[in-house]
Amino acid sequence: MNIHIIQHEVFEAPGAISEWAKERNYHTTISKVFEYESLPQSTDRTDMLVVMGGPQSPRTSRKECSYFDARAEMAFIQKCMEAGKAVFGVCLGAQLIGEALGAKAERSPEKEIGVFPVKLTDDGLKDGKIRHFGPSLPVGHWHSDMPGLTADSRILASSTGCPRQIIAYSGLVYGFQCHMELTPEVVDLLIAEDEDFLTHNTTHRFVQKPEAIRSNDFTEMNADLFRFLDQLMLEYRQKTIKNFHCPEKK
C-alpha cells in the first residue's frame, strides 16, 4: 500500500501516522509544502492520502503564506476522492476535505489546545471504523476552526468546545478535527511554536498549559487511531478488489 502525506509545517508532523505505516510496511511519501515541495501529479501511486494540520485555513492566500496553495491541495483531494482512494484529513486537512466537497470551514465555538474528551454520536457508535473508541475518549486538540458539512456527511464525534470533531464524508473519506496522531515528540514541536501563548493564556477555557499537555500518555489514543486506519485501508482494499472484478459499465 502507498500512503502519501501532505505536511504543511514542520511542527504539524504525521507523528503516529508514520509509525502506523512503518509497522505495516506501507510505502510512504511526503509533500513537505513548507519546504516548497510539489504535490503528486497523479493519484496512480496513492492508495491513501493523508492531509495534515497547520495554522492556515482553507481561505489562506498565497500572499499570506507563499508555500500553501489551498486550491491546489483541494484539487488533489478531489482527484483522490474521484479515483476511489482513501482520504484522511487532520485538523486543517479535515477542513480542506470539506471545502473540496463544497462545505465551508467555520470557526469553532471554542479554541481547544491540549487533551480533552470527545464523545461519539449515535452515528459514531454505529460506525465500524471508530466504534471501538467507545462512548468517550481523551484525544489531542490544537485548533480554532472546524470542518464544514455536506448534505451526506455524518458527525461521528463532538466535544464540549467543538461540535464537529470527527466527520465521515463517505466510507473512504474521513476528517478528524482532533489530533490522535500526537506523540511526545510532536507535542514538543507544537508547544515550542505556541509556548508563550500557552503559558500566559487566561482567556480560553480549553487551552492547557505546556506541562499539562506533556503529562499525557498518548499510547492508547494512538492504538485507537491505528485500528481506525486499518479499518479504512481494509474498506479501500475491498472496494478496489470489487471494482477490479466488477468494473462499472460505461
Residue with cell 509533500: 31
**Residue 241 banded pLDDT, cuts 50, 70, 90:** confident
Q: Taking Cα atoms as reference points, which of 124, 59, 121, 52 lies closest to residue 89?
A: 52
The per-residue pLDDT for range 5-61, each reduced to its tens digit, is 999 999 999 999 999 999 999 999 999 999 999 999 999 999 999 999 999 999 999
**DSSP, residue by residue, 213-245:** HHT---HHHHHHHHHHHHHHHHHHHHHHHHHHH
Beta strands in 1-79 (DSSP E): 2-7, 27-32, 48-51
Strands 154-158 and 166-170 come out as: antiparallel
Strands 48-51 and 86-90 come out as: parallel
- Asked if the model's pLDDT at residue 163 lies above 70, the reply is yes
Beta strands in 41-200 (DSSP E): 48-51, 86-90, 106-120, 136-146, 154-158, 166-170, 173-176
Mean pLDDT of 206-231: 98
- Whole-prediction pTM: 0.95
The answer to whether 133 and 100 are in contact (CB under 8 A) is no
Rounded Cα distance, 167 and 103, in Å: 12
Q: Where are the domains of the chain?
A: 2-245
pLDDT at 15: 98
Q: Which CATH architecture best describes the domain 2-245?
A: 3-Layer(aba) Sandwich (3.40)
The per-residue pLDDT for range 89-134, each reduced to its tens digit, is 999 999 999 999 999 999 999 999 999 999 999 999 999 999 999 9
Count of Cβ atoms closer than 10 Å to residue 245 Cβ: 7
